Structure 1
Amino acid sequence: MFLLLALLGAPSLAAADSNFKRINPPGPYAVGLRVVEQYDFARGYRGATDPLTGKPVTGERARPIQTLIWYPAAKGSGRGVTVEDYVKLGATADDFERPPAERAALEAKFVRARVAVLSPERAKAELAAPMRARRDATAAAGKFPVVIYAPSFNAEAYENADLCEYLASQGYLVIASPSFGQASRGMTTELEGVETQVGDIEFLIGYAHGLPQADMSRLAVAGYSWGGLANVMAAAKDSRIGALVALDGSVRYWPETIKQSRFLTPARVTAPMLYVAAAPKPVEEQAVDVNKDTSFLAKMKYADLYKVTLYPYVHSNFSVMFDQRLAAEYGDYDKDELSVANGWVETYVRRFLDAYLKGDAAGRAFLDTPVAKTGAPRHLLALDVAKAQGAPPTQAAFAAELNRVGFDKAQATYQAFRSRDGDFAIDETEMNRWGYQLLGNGDTRAAVAILKLNQELHADSWNASDSLGEAYAAAGDKTRAIAAYRQSLVLNPKNTNGVTQLKALGATP
């Protein structure tokens, strides 16, 4: 009995009545919860007229961002939070202007709808179950790594409140907002929808910069399902994101959306990723467009990838609040087995974040430990590890390598990048622009090297030769400048700039 209480963190009687059991004890910090109702004024949300009634819309039309912040807190402060307190937040998640009485009525209606499938006794027990967070508790001293949590398709910000609380107790600042569409609560399954959620992640990163507890040099983004596509897209745009957690993320299931985005490529995702997957489906149930050839995970080469497969879990189980705490049925595994599985989800997420955000050697060693030696129940999960294969073949990485080996080795370095990844390329226009930027910065030697490479790669381009001539002239290499300008005229006799520059150099066209 004593061992059970220790494992469950000595729950109260109300928590024991809940079907969900916390397996992992909390970390050293108490957990605070703050709810902020704010707007992203850079983006619109409501149109000029209501799409249902046709009436003019009144009030704020900017994008509402209901922001939940879980943070390390001082013990003994704040007021307790129950499951019902979280569920109520969904009632006005995109409508902050309701008067108190109207808001209370909406909250009661929203809660009733959420537990309608449960018996009255079960609903009462689940809603009354105490959570770890304490509302508006005093913040603990210090700065902590930041984790942005992106919920699943059309889900509330608190869908994985248990995980967010657990991470806060372990010394993380966790921030989440709901998954709503571009112009309404309804998320949409196309590029616009996921990019809307990317925008929410970006907004929360900006907001986190103003929080006294936030250490923005240590930043991760976690996401479940649809949020597990949005967070990877965000990382492709923002190299400050140092780690990714995907709970059965849609980056695995929506290859066409990834293709449409154009910018989401393996070369642009260098943040290490923990991908926690549901049990594999039978071959007959797999979508025809989801396979090894289309899988983004299979193509990841430039980031450490840890893939944990949980055999008791189906996709929906990753939403602990709705599919475990407030679920009427549990599928092939019972509630206790799912609680144990969730405990291991928390363990792997914490160890992963500890390893990559806190530089924790024990966390890194745990990730590399065979499952049989972790203490996990037999046949609960499987672990596959794929380590990064060097620097990604991007222009930024190419520039960094040239800075290391010397710009005079541009041709050999470019070919080495191409041999590692046949898709690597810098088009003529971009390379020309790069050369001129170096020239403008006064780095003529590097400018000559880049524009010479551009001319070698595009030998049939008169403009590449013309630009190289300008670089040689700036470097004081008159002979080569003349040769480059004359080559540009061979390719384009109408190049009046080439004629003018040759005359300025004292040479005949």
Structure 2
Amino acid sequence: MIRSWHFRTVLFFLLCSLGDAARAGSGFADLKPGPYGVGFRVVQQYDYARSYRDKNDPVTGKAYLGERARPVQTLVWYPAPKAGTPLRYADYMRTEATDEIFGRSAAQIAAFMAERQQWTASRVGPKQAQALLDQRMWAVANAPATTGKFPVVIYAAGGGGAAHEAADLCEYLASHGYVVLASRSLGTHTKSMNFDPEGLATQACDIRFLLSYAHTLPQADVEQVAVAGWSWGGLANALAASQDSRIDALVSFDGTQYKDLTKAVSRTRLALPWLYVQRRPESVRELSADGMETSSILLNEAKYADLYHVVMNPMEHVDFSTAALRVAQLEHFTEYSRPEVEAAYHWTCRYTLEFLNANLQGTAPGRQFLDRTPAQNGVPAHMALQYHLPAQTGPVPTQAGFAAALAQDGFAHALEIYRQVQKQDSAFVLSETDLNNWGYQLIREAHDLPAALAIFRLGTELYPSSFNLFDSLGEADELNHNTAAALTHYRRSLELNPQNRNAQQRLQVLSAPAPAMPAN
């Protein structure tokens, strides 16, 4: 399973480094800004549909008197004019002081920052610690937004991680024309993440909450939405993407490898473009030592995702968080040097940008970038490997995928296509209730009687002992003015269930002699 210490590592490592980032115009890992400036704002809001605090504090036992709804402090990066005074990295750190409790006083925030500075000084020395805190970023607080609509990216932090753990990536994407939103990875009821199914579902709900909030932003093009995230966040966004078809693309940084944590993710509903960037491959010995089960891996089982799988050889798990990478000490770099690891992070961001350009905006350069090998794109030799696993052809084995195939090939082919989908995935089954409800929806909502007849016929083929489906087919026959077929199907329904009063009544009505014509 994913080691929780990987997530905790970044909770306080929210500092910036010197080096390449100090050069004008370039960011961390020599990232180059795009054509836009970057605006940044903090929005303190609650998800009132979910509780966060219990009635009594779990530590003191005293009644909790504050707001009990779930806090979702939201960081927003967006395209803006290139003007204004940019933030210091300390400004990002400061947002962490209020990411769970919004009403903290200035004195409390100052104490929080003093603690962070003291910790940094103990790690790198007082002078360098101050330099790290003072480093200028690209974003300008509350800058005016550039006119226009821009695709949305929702970033999910690693388990327990701060919303700004990937501030460099978020700024980079915003400078290239994306609206990016992130919130802290909070546990279900405490600041500490609970690494269980409930905690996973909680973060997936946070992602959908941010998507809902994006609808309020004039700049946000909510017809083009991607989710991105690292580690636990990379798993949570896969879950969200499998649950919400409004998400058009998925980016995961070194998450979802572990079997037990991916059970909640529907393999068939993960049918979208997916960029998966992982750390260096582990040996069989390392996998065995970690107790990793390799026989069932989401990456291999998500056959309906258009998967771009990139391996960054210099990177370790924590290196996907620049909050951690910025303060990594010398002993962290073993097989690869710091410049090599930062270069790998640079290319991780570049792959993310080109993937989003290709799949949200449909740009030819983005697609061409993905179609080339890493070496052809200028990635240093032996740094990266890329595999493209195109989505499996044929209908996606869900009712929606089956319906899409019927809409394309015709509902008259329902049984043939159903068998085809079952050959692709034997687990695909539509129940009697599914088919019965679908048929009536086609009649009452879609007003498509021929399609409804086809679905009811499919139901009677699949469930020849279902009196209810034969009864429904008889009703559809009546609507189609096919009395002979209606009589046949009502009789069959009554044979299967002699107590079916509807079939009895309809047979009496349809079998009654026609009323005599009045004499002239």
With normalisation by structure 1, the TM-score equals: 0.91
Kept in 1: contact 2:87–2:140 (CA 8 A): yes
Could you say which residue in structure 1 is the equivalent of 2:16? none
**TM-superposition CA deviations, 1:107-139 (whole Å, max 9, x none):** 322453466433334322322222221222222
- In the alignment, structure 1 residue 407 sits paired with structure 2 residue 419: no
Q: Name the CA distance, whole Å, in 2 between partners of 1:497 and 1:282.
A: 66
Rounded to whole Å, the distance in 2 between the matches of 1:483 and 1:327 is 80
- From the superposition, tell whether residues 334 and 270 of structure 1 become closer, same or farther in structure 2 (CA, over 3 Å): same
Superposition deviation, residue 207 in structure 1: 0.8
Match of 2:461 in 1: 456
Q: 1:404-438: CA deviations, max 9, x gaps?
A: 22222211121222223222221111111101112
* Alpha-carbon distance change, 408 to 471 in structure 1, aligned in 2, over 3 angstroms: same
1:423 corresponding residue in structure 2: 427
Contact kept, 8 Å, 2:157 with 2:229, in 1: the verdict is yes
Question: Is the contact made by 1:88 and 1:110 (CA closer than 8 Å) also made in structure 2?
Answer: no
Could you tell me how far apart the structure 2 residues matched to 1:31 and 1:327 are? 30
* Mapped contact 2:152–2:225 kept (Cα < 8 A): yes
Cα 1:208–1:327 change in 2 (3 A) is: farther
Q: Deviations over 1:49-100 (max 9, x none)?
A: 11111111112111111111111111122x3222222122222210001222
Distance 2:425 2:507 in 1: 40
Q: Does 1:303 align with 2:309?
A: no
Which of residues 380, 386, 391 is equivalent to 2:389? 386
State the partner residue of 2:217: 211
Residue 90 of structure 1 contacts residue 110 of structure 1 at CA under 8 Å; is this kept in 2?
A: no
Shift of 1:323: 3.0
Q: 2 CA distance for matches of 1:89 and 1:117?
A: 22
More displaced, 51-60 or 385-394? 385-394
Find the partner of 2:124 among 97, 118, 123.
118
Q: Which residue of the partner structure matches residue 4 of structure 1?
A: none
1:278-307 deviation per Cα after TM superposition (whole angstroms, max 9, x unaligned): 11112122254531x311110122221100
**Match in the other structure for 1:57:** 64
Pick one of 91, 96, 116 that aligns with 1:90.
96
RMSD: 2.2
Q: Percent identity?
A: 44
Mapping for residues 41-440 of structure 1, pairs under 5 Å: 41-77=48-84, 79-113=85-119, 116-249=122-255, 251-253=256-258, 255-259=259-263, 261=264, 264-286=265-287, 287-291=290-294, 293-325=295-327, 327=329, 329-332=331-334, 333-390=336-393, 391-440=395-444
> Deviation string for 1:164-213 (max 9, x for gaps)?
11111111111100000111111111111011111111111111111121
Quote the offset at 1:327 in angstroms.
5.0
In 1, the alpha carbon distance for the partners of 2:512 and 2:365 equals 69
The residue identity in structure 2 corresponding to 1:162 is D
State the 1:501 CA deviation. Answer: 2.2
Distance in 1 of aligned mates of 2:408 and 2:282: 47
Query: Per the alignment, in what secondary structure is the counterpart of residue 244 of structure 1?
Result: strand
For 2:187 and 2:348, how far apart are their aligned partners in 1?
A: 28
Aligned to 1:495: 500
Contact kept, 8 Å, 1:88 with 1:111, in 2: the verdict is: no
Shift of 1:101: 2.1
Q: What is the aligned length?
A: 490
Closer/same/farther in 2, CA of residues 111 and 487 from structure 1, 3 Å limit: farther
- Segments ≥4 residues shifted beyond 6 Å: none
Unmatched segments (≥5 aa) in structure 1: 1-6
For the 8 Å contact 1:21–1:336, the answer to whether it is kept is: no
**Cα distance between partner residues in 1 of 2:261 and 2:29:** 36
Letter in 2 for 1:183: H
* 8 Å CA contact retained: 2:21, 2:28: no
Match of 2:87, SS? strand
Matched, 1:474 2:510: no
Distance 2:433 2:329 in 1: 56
